[in-house]
């Protein structure tokens, strides 16, 4: 670590890790309820475990984004953070917000509005945290006067995330209109501005890890951002199927969300070619695994599995089935969970004592267990969803009876989910087993030196 | 491509996409009122929406196919189940479904009577929103019934006469026509009744109907007015509460949960056909 203030990232990552672990507890609990009967029916019913599962995801991913940003900005702008105190204050507020929201959900204190269940006071704290964050980052860049393209993309992504949260603060009389604006926040986050954030981290990591030429990487970053937005903004339409909005959203959704894989394929090719050029010469090849893995898994989960049910003629049968859960799990994990795990794996050797730059075998186990576990979970949801679509939607079997017929896929879901949880447990253990280290090193100021095949 | 061209591409494509999106958003606002029957959003419907949110319904059920996927979609539920049924169901779901059988059960939510009627008003408003005819065929809660009409596309189905397997022209046997009425009445009989022996859905199975009807009208305790099997079936369709099949899941307070409106929504001829069909279920 070159700047002492980068160490705030460690605490952000630590909080993210704890919340990630908790998210899995509630995920596994929800999965077992698919098998039933549920002994916790009146203590912890499915709606509670599910809302906690998805909210923890959002909170830990955002915590990870913030931590990764606090690491990356000093590196890119070559200066200490504007205010370490503010960064810690923000983390404390943010964590309190997250934890109290989760406790509230246990007692059904929430808005009951899908993915935006946070009560209004919590939403206001979220806005305050975002403002502190953006101020701190903005002032850091302003102070240094060095502003890279990668930073620019990241910053626009973060500012837009905050702006797009505003529709979530409003009250809508008409349920259909509230659905319409829910996706301004959620969809334009995950398939728009968060993609910019992911792209920026990807570019940062690839420049550091593969020694790829900054000029070239940043040029392609622009192209990817352009592709993401052409497909992503109008692709919001695929959330407007069958919810009571005008008909024209159907063809628009079909056309533009079919383009989304192009942006994601671009990202995967971008990562892979950067890796090929460098020949994995950076010592931290575990971080490179996560980085390239993220781009590839996002192409699979977000791109291809999204495409699988995005055309209206297909979606009218699959809409509202476990097919959506299949896509959601693989997409979120590939695009967002993995890019944060990549940032953590890259930065951790610089922030802890006694950790090998190359990564431990424990770290590789964590990587492969998670990948295979998540792949298995995705297949379980896919097979369960296909069964559901054919039995319930096409053959006309009742919902409850169709669910009984696909029990075997829920068994597979729990088995592969356990494998995934084991991978995550190893990652978390590996994270905490080395003591943190908060001194700055005398690293060279250039982008990290890298041995290439030619040199 | 130079770095600058790439930047122009990124900015221009974002701006163009955002502009188109905003224009379409404005146009959607122009149409929301008509598509969603906004004039029908009464205070009751709004309170019902608050009930829907307060009890976190969307984290098990789906509405317009959105939500969690752990419980049935409720977009058209008020088209399949009458108000009396839904009211009794929401008071205590365990009277209707068995957790051991279905491995899932809705926990009792302790809703007040007012909350229940508001929620039903909200769900009824939802069921009338113009959402491009989704779902393309009814999503059932339990049972298995395949009315041929719904296998085809909805658009085609409503325009063209029913599928090849159900004859429905005036020359056809009234019992065959009755089977068609059974599948296509609104709400469809198939939404709640099975003709498989032992398959009790929201309503009792109709297998063995004739034999049971004979026993019911012969019994001294029978309160209705029917003299014969056909008369009993007709009475059950137009006045469901005249005789109540025992069971908390079928009636409450002397009123059957079966929709009361078939006497009006079906023509006299259709009822004759339906009776003729049902009278074949020995």
- What 3-state class would DSSP assign to B199? coil
**Contact status of A243 with chain B (Cβ, < 8 Å):** yes
Asked if residue A353 has pLDDT above 50, the reply is yes
Cross-strand bridge partners of residue B63:
B66
What pLDDT was estimated at residue B261?
85
CB–CB of A397 and B140 under 8 A? yes
How many contacts does A have with B, using Cβ atoms within 8 A?
231
Residues from chain B that touch A235, judged by Cβ atoms under 8 A, are: none
Domains held by chain B: number? 3
Which residue on chain A is closest to B2 by alpha carbon? A219
Asked if residue B155 has pLDDT above 60, the reply is no
Structural domain for B196, as ranges: 148-278
CB–CB of A223 and B6 under 8 A? yes
What's the rounded Cα separation, in Å, for the pair B21 and A252? 10
Residues from chain B that touch A154, judged by Cβ atoms under 8 A, are: none
Residue A254 lies in a domain: no
Cβ proximity of A235 and B20 under 8 Å: no
Residue A187 lies in a domain: no
CB–CB of B142 and A399 under 8 A? yes
Q: Which residue has the higher pLDDT, A113 or B81?
A: A113
What pLDDT was estimated at residue A279?
62
What pLDDT was estimated at residue A86?
97
Q: Which of A47-51, A194-198, A272-276 has the highest mean pLDDT?
A: A47-51
- What 3-state class would DSSP assign to A102? helix
Give phi and psi for B144, each to the nearest 5. -145, 115
Mark which residues 212-231 of A lie under 8 Å from B by CB.
215, 218-220, 222-223, 225-227, 229-230
Lowest mean per-residue pLDDT among A397-411, B56-70, B240-254: B240-254
Domains held by chain A: number? 1
Average pLDDT, integer, range B89-106: 90
Q: What is the pLDDT of residues A147-193, one digit of tens each?
A: 999 999 999 999 999 999 999 999 999 999 999 999 999 999 999 99
Cβ proximity of A103 and A81 under 8 Å: no
pLDDT band at B147 (very low <50, low <70, confident <90, very high): very low
* Final residue before a domain boundary, out of B80, B113, B135: B135
Asked if residue B150 has pLDDT above 60, the reply is no
What's the rounded Cα separation, in Å, for the pair B61 and B70? 6
Residue A443 lies in a domain: no
Residues from chain A that touch B52, judged by Cβ atoms under 8 A, are: 112
Residue B140 lies in a domain: no
**Which segments within A253-392 are labelled E, that is strand?**
none
Residues B156 and B233 in one domain: yes
**Contact status of A393 with chain B (Cβ, < 8 Å):** yes
Residue B141 lies in a domain: no
Residues B153 and B274 in one domain: yes
What pLDDT was estimated at residue A280?
57
CB–CB of A404 and B64 under 8 A? no
- Other CB atoms closer than 10 Å to residue B2's CB: what's the count? 9
Residue A34 lies in a domain: yes
What pLDDT was estimated at residue B12?
96
Average pLDDT, integer, range B156-178: 58
What pLDDT was estimated at residue B98?
86
pLDDT band at A22 (very low <50, low <70, confident <90, very high): very high
Q: What is the CATH number of the domain that holds B181?
A: 1.10.760.10
Residues from chain A that touch B24, judged by Cβ atoms under 8 A, are: 248-249, 252
Lowest mean per-residue pLDDT among A20-34, A51-65, A311-325, B94-108: B94-108
Residues B81 and B155 in one domain: no
What pLDDT was estimated at residue B43?
97
* Chain A interface disruption, residue of B1, B37, B56, most A CBs within 10 A: B56
Residues B156 and B267 in one domain: yes
Of A69, A68, A58, the residue nearest A94 (C-alpha): A58
Rounded to a whole number of angstroms, the distance from the CA of B219 to the nearest CA of chain A is 35
Residue A72 lies in a domain: yes
Residues B123 and B31 in one domain: no
What pLDDT was estimated at residue A444?
55
Rounded to a whole number of angstroms, the distance from the CA of B221 to the nearest CA of chain A is 35
**Contact status of A396 with chain B (Cβ, < 8 Å):** yes
CB–CB of A403 and B104 under 8 A? yes
**Cβ burial A51-86 (10 Å sphere, 16+ → b, else e):** bbbbbbbbbbbbbbbbbbbbbbbbbbbebbbbbbeb
Q: What is the pLDDT of residues B250-270, one digit of tens each?
A: 888 888 888 888 988 899 999
Residue A257 lies in a domain: no
The chain-wide mean pLDDT, for chain B, equals 86
Asked if residue A389 has pLDDT above 90, the reply is yes
Asked if residue A450 has pLDDT above 80, the reply is no
Residue B190 lies in a domain: yes
Asked if residue A452 has pLDDT above 50, the reply is no
Asked if residue B156 has pLDDT above 70, the reply is no
Rounded to a whole number of angstroms, the distance from the CA of B93 to the nearest CA of chain A is 13
The chain-wide mean pLDDT, for chain A, equals 93
Residue A335 lies in a domain: no
Give phi and psi for B188, each to the nearest 5. -65, 140
Residues B220 and B127 in one domain: no
Asked if residue B154 has pLDDT above 50, the reply is no
* Chain B interface disruption, residue of A114, A237, A381, most B CBs within 10 A: A114
Kind plus residue range of the DSSP H or E element containing B255: strand B255-256
Report the residue from A220, A242, A248 with minimal CB separation from B65.
A242
* Final residue before a domain boundary, out of B85, B106, B135: B135
Asked if residue B170 has pLDDT above 70, the reply is no
Rounded to a whole number of angstroms, the distance from the CA of A379 to the nearest CA of chain B is 17
Of A159, A294, A308, A319, the residue nearest A239 (C-alpha): A319
Structural domain for A51, as ranges: 1-147
Q: What is the DSSP string of B28-77?
A: HHHHHHHHTTGGG--HHHHHHHHHHHHTTGGGTSEETTEE-SSS-B-TTH
Report the residue from B132, B137, B142 with minimal CB separation from A401.
B142
Q: At what angle do helices B229-238 and B209-218 cross, to 10 degrees?
A: 100
Report the residue from B17, B38, B52 with minimal CB separation from A174.
B38
Report the residue from A112, A232, A397 with minimal CB separation from B144.
A397
**Contact status of A404 with chain B (Cβ, < 8 Å):** yes
**Contact status of A249 with chain B (Cβ, < 8 Å):** yes
What single-letter DSSP state applies at residue B161? P
Residues B28 and B106 in one domain: no
What's the rounded Cα separation, in Å, for the pair A63 and A261? 27
What pLDDT was estimated at residue A271?
87
Residue B143 lies in a domain: no
CB–CB of B35 and A33 under 8 A? no
CB–CB of B103 and A36 under 8 A? yes
Asked if residue B166 has pLDDT above 60, the reply is no
Q: Which residue has the tokens 């369709």?
A: B237
**Contact status of A84 with chain B (Cβ, < 8 Å):** no
Residues B154 and B266 in one domain: yes
Q: Which of B11-25, B152-166, B203-217 has the highest mean pLDDT?
A: B11-25
What's the rounded Cα separation, in Å, for the pair B195 and B199? 8
Average pLDDT, integer, range A239-256: 96
What pLDDT was estimated at residue A453?
41
Asked if residue A264 has pLDDT above 80, the reply is yes
What's the rounded Cα separation, in Å, for the pair A13 and A15? 5
> C-alpha angle with apex B42: B118 to A112, nearest 5 degrees?
50
* Chain A interface disruption, residue of B63, B70, B94, B102, most A CBs within 10 A: B70
Q: What is the DSSP string of A9-66?
A: HHHHHHHHHHHHHHHHHHHHHHHHHHH---TTTTTS-HHHHHHHHHHHHHHHHHHHHH
Residue A378 lies in a domain: no
Residues B178 and B251 in one domain: yes
**Contact status of A170 with chain B (Cβ, < 8 Å):** no
Asked if residue B182 has pLDDT above 90, the reply is no
Residue B142 lies in a domain: no
């Amino acid at each position: 670590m070159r700047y002492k203030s980068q160490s705030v990232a460690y605490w952000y990552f630590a909080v993210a890790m704890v919340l990630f672990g908790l998210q899995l507890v509630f995920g596994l609990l929800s999965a077992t309820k698919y098998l039933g009967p549920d002994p916790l029916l009146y203590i912890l019913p499915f709606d509670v475990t599910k809302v906690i599962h998805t909210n923890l995801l959002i909170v830990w991913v955002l915590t990870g984004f913030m931590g990764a940003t606090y690491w990356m900005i000093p590196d890119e702008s070559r200066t200490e953070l504007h205010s370490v105190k503010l960064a810690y204050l923000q983390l404390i507020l943010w964590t309190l917000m997250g934890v109290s929201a989760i406790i509230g959900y246990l007692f059904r204190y929430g808005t009951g509005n899908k993915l935006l269940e946070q009560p209004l006071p919590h939403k206001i704290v979220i806005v305050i945290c975002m403002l502190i964050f953006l101020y701190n980052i903005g002032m850091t860049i302003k102070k240094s006067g060095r502003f890279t393209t990668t930073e620019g993309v990241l910053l626009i992504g973060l500012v837009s995330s905050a702006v797009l949260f505003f529709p979530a603060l409003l009250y809508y009389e008409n349920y259909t209109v509230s659905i319409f604006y829910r996706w301004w926040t959620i969809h334009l986050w995950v398939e728009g501005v968060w993609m910019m954030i992911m792209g920026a981290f990807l570019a940062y990591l690839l420049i550091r890890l593969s020694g790829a030429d900054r000029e070239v990487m940043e040029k392609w970053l622009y192209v990817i951002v352009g592709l993401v937005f052409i497909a992503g903004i109008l692709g919001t339409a695929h959330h407007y199927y069958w919810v009571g909005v005008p008909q024209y959203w159907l063809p628009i959704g079909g056309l533009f969300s079919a383009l989304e894989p192009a942006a994601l394929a671009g990202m995967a090719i971008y990562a892979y070619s950067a890796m090929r050029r460098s020949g994995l010469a950076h010592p931290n090849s575990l971080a490179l695994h996560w980085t390239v893995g993220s781009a590839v898994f996002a192409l699979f989960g977000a791109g291809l599995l999204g495409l699988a049910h995005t055309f209206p003629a297909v979606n009218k049968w699959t809409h509202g089935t476990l097919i959506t859960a299949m896509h959601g799990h693989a997409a979120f994990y590939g695009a967002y969970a993995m890019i944060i795990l990549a940032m953590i794996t890259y930065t951790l050797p610089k922030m802890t004592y006694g950790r090998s730059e190359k990564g431990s075998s424990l770290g590789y186990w964590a990587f492969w267990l998670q990948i295979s576990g998540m792949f298995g979970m995705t297949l379980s949801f896919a097979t369960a969803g296909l069964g559901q679509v054919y039995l319930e939607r096409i053959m006309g079997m009742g919902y409850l009876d169709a669910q009984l017929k696909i029990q075997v896929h829920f068994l597979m879901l729990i088995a592969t989910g356990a494998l995934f949880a084991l991978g995550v447990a190893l990652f978390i253990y590996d994270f905490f087993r080395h003591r943190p280290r908060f001194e700055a090193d005398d690293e060279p100021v250039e982008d990290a030196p890298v041995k290439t095949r030619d040199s | 491509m130079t770095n600058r061209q790439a930047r122009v591409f990124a900015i221009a494509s974002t701006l163009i996409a955002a502009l188109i999106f905003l224009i379409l958003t404005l146009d959607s606002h122009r149409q929301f009122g008509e598509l969603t029957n906004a004039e029908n959003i009464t205070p009751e419907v709004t309170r019902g929406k608050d009930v829907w949110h307060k009890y976190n319904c969307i984290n098990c059920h789906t509405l317009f196919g959105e939500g969690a996927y752990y419980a049935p979609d409720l977009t058209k539920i008020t088209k399949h189940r009458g108000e009396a049924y839904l009211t009794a169901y929401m008071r205590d779901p365990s009277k209707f479904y068995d957790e051991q059988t279905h491995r899932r059960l809705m926990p009792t939510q302790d809703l007040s009577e007012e909350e229940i009627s508001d929620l039903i008003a909200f769900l009824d408003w939802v069921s009338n929103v113009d959402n491009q005819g989704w779902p393309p065929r009814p999503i059932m809660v339990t049972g298995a019934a395949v009315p041929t009409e719904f296998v085809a596309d909805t658009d085609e189905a409503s325009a063209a006469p029913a599928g090849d397997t159900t004859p429905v022209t005036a020359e056809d046997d009234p019992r065959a026509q009755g089977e068609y009425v059974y599948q296509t009445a609104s709400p469809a009989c198939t939404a709640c009744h099975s003709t498989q022996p032992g398959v009790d859905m929201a309503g009792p199975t109709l297998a063995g109907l004739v034999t049971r009807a004979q026993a019911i009208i012969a019994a001294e305790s029978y309160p209705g007015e029917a003299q014969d099997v056909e008369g009993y079936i007709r009475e059950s369709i137009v006045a469901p509460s005249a005789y109540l099949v025992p069971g908390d899941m079928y009636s409450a307070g002397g009123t059957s949960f079966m929709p009361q409106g078939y006497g009006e929504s079906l023509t006299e001829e259709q009822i004759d056909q339906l009776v003729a069909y049902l009278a074949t279920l020995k």
